[in-house]
Structure 1
């Protein structure tokens, strides 16, 4: 019920109470309670709690990790290690196998279910050699015309000194560059956390799928709160502004499909597994039917649409050829 309608009813009941001498305080208090539920502050608080719950769900240690999806989906999986330049990164698992009848290359960013596993997998934060391993396997997939499946669950690329020394920025940039033009189908799934460039490096794809309780953002809520509010405890508030939930991203046109998890992957993973498996199979059937030229064109058009906006200021004229660059003109003024 809208606030204006409730306010009118309260005024009406007050008038009746005065005119008739009737005690209507109970009914008026109920309407006031409803009015509070309709207040902006209440709605903001409710939204903040809902979004923060999704963030926490995406990070639950009980939640299936990319290696669990690979084990569940891929038959005859053979792991392939190393980037042929530095070494092997345990945070990234990759190899070949079969999804249904399709031979595929599969890569996932691993997280652990125990402390020891998380230490082994660096808590899901890859080093540069992990991304270079993913790219090496992607080139191999293109050579043998195998579709690629990416499973992503990472708080972000590892930001340590050794990562910088081995060229983290270059490794991520190379993935973005080469994957955008790779002539084989790419399906990317965000299963839990999708943190910044660390997730984006495996997110350039023909279809980007998110599990219902997964998140994807340019920065963690804690990092955003530290920068904007100088207080990481305001992470829940920052998470709303980041628009990081699967449905936010679907509405923005960044994500292509959201997979229903039922009660949650950490509660009953079989529902999510089944729904995701059906979506991957449908995607494989479609994208393997396209020529390499059609595939790359589709991928490029998909990426170019992200961030598209419609001008409502009247500044831009109709027809791109008849107008100058909007940003260029702003800086020129």
Structure 2
């Protein structure tokens, strides 16, 4: 059964009526309802187009967090063949919040990093809702070091509310692990691309998104802090999250205008969760185009391009 967001209620009502008519028609309890079904379906599609053409930053935040939105494993299973996951940071333990390994993308060997939230209670607990601990970032560094050694491009799927803020994570050096992962991204001599497929939260995202090309899905968000936490700090009132989302400029459209990201992948009407195959295919096309563009550059050129990209953001927006 489809899950609707609060602002999608007009669409939910219309699609609910369509389902009722279809059930009546299948049971032989109604005749000549095809025209009414078609009329309601058209009305629902128009309502969906109208709603998604004027989403507020807060509504985009809700879409980015939609539980049915495709997650990193969906992209990996669809786009990557011969995927071989690697586990553990060789220092403490395995962290399932970050999926890491090697595979083939349209005939080319690549390294894959993906923050995975899970799609039901069991998998969400296993993946810690996509919030990585230090060992997750140290695993990411291990994979990037291997990729760099064997001249293999790195692709990252970003989807996290932020790094895990627990006491144990802080005791094991969360900040240091994030910093080293970010530094590893900057120092790679191979092309790297990151796609923000849902939430790009704070240092938890930056640790694997400091890349030559940063891409966002149309209704994803990328921010230094969650709107709720930002509202708590700015106004000491988490209920003002909508105000924070607007003022923080966290949408793909805002970030593109500032030059923080390089490309926006258009989502189907109604969001990525309504047509997962389409948005995953578009992400694949973006990856292919970027790898083709960067593939002929030397290690020094890739490092220079990446360095200048982030220094420019600091100079222009700092």
The TM-score with structure 2 as length reference comes to 0.81
**Greater relative contact order (CA < 8 Å, ≥ 6 in sequence):** 2
Aligned counterparts of 2:128 and 2:312: Cα–Cα separation in 1:
34
Pick the aligned partner of 2:197 from 191, 194, 205. 191
Aligned counterparts of 2:316 and 2:150: Cα–Cα separation in 1:
38
Structure 2 residue 293 is the aligned partner of structure 1 residue 275? no
Aligned counterparts of 1:304 and 1:69: Cα–Cα separation in 2:
30
For structure 2, the 5+ residue unaligned runs are: 1-52
Cα offset for 1:178? 2.1
For structure 1, the 5+ residue unaligned runs are: 1-46, 311-326, 328-333
Residues 54-203 of structure 1 aligned to structure 2 (within 5 Å)? 54-203=60-209
Relative to structure 1, the CA distance from residue 229 to residue 49 in structure 2 (aligned partners, 3 Å threshold; closer, same or farther) is farther
Residue 114 of structure 2 aligns to a residue whose secondary structure is strand
How big is the alpha-carbon RMSD for the aligned residues of Structure 1 and Structure 2? 1.7
Pick the aligned partner of 1:221 from 227, 242, 267. 227
Residues 34-53 of structure 1 aligned to structure 2 (within 5 Å)? 50-53=56-59
Cα offset for 1:307? 3.2
Cα offset for 1:279? 1.1
Residue 180 of structure 1 aligns to a residue whose secondary structure is helix
Contact between 1:48 and 1:236, CA under 8 Å: does it hold in 2?
no
- 2:27 aligns with none
Aligned counterparts of 1:161 and 1:135: Cα–Cα separation in 2:
22
Contact between 2:144 and 2:184, CA under 8 Å: does it hold in 1?
no
Aligned counterparts of 1:135 and 1:308: Cα–Cα separation in 2:
27
Cα offset for 1:49? 6.0
Cα offset for 1:270? 2.0
Structure 1 residue runs of 4 or more that deviate by more than 6 Å after TM superposition: none
- 2:272 aligns with 265
Q: What is the total number of aligned residue pairs between the two structures?
A: 266
Relative to structure 1, the CA distance from residue 148 to residue 49 in structure 2 (aligned partners, 3 Å threshold; closer, same or farther) is closer
Aligned counterparts of 2:126 and 2:183: Cα–Cα separation in 1:
29
Cα deviations by residue, 1:91-133 (Å, 9 ceiling, x for unpaired):
1111110010210000101111111111111111000000000
Contact between 2:102 and 2:110, CA under 8 Å: does it hold in 1?
yes
Aligned counterparts of 1:252 and 1:122: Cα–Cα separation in 2:
32
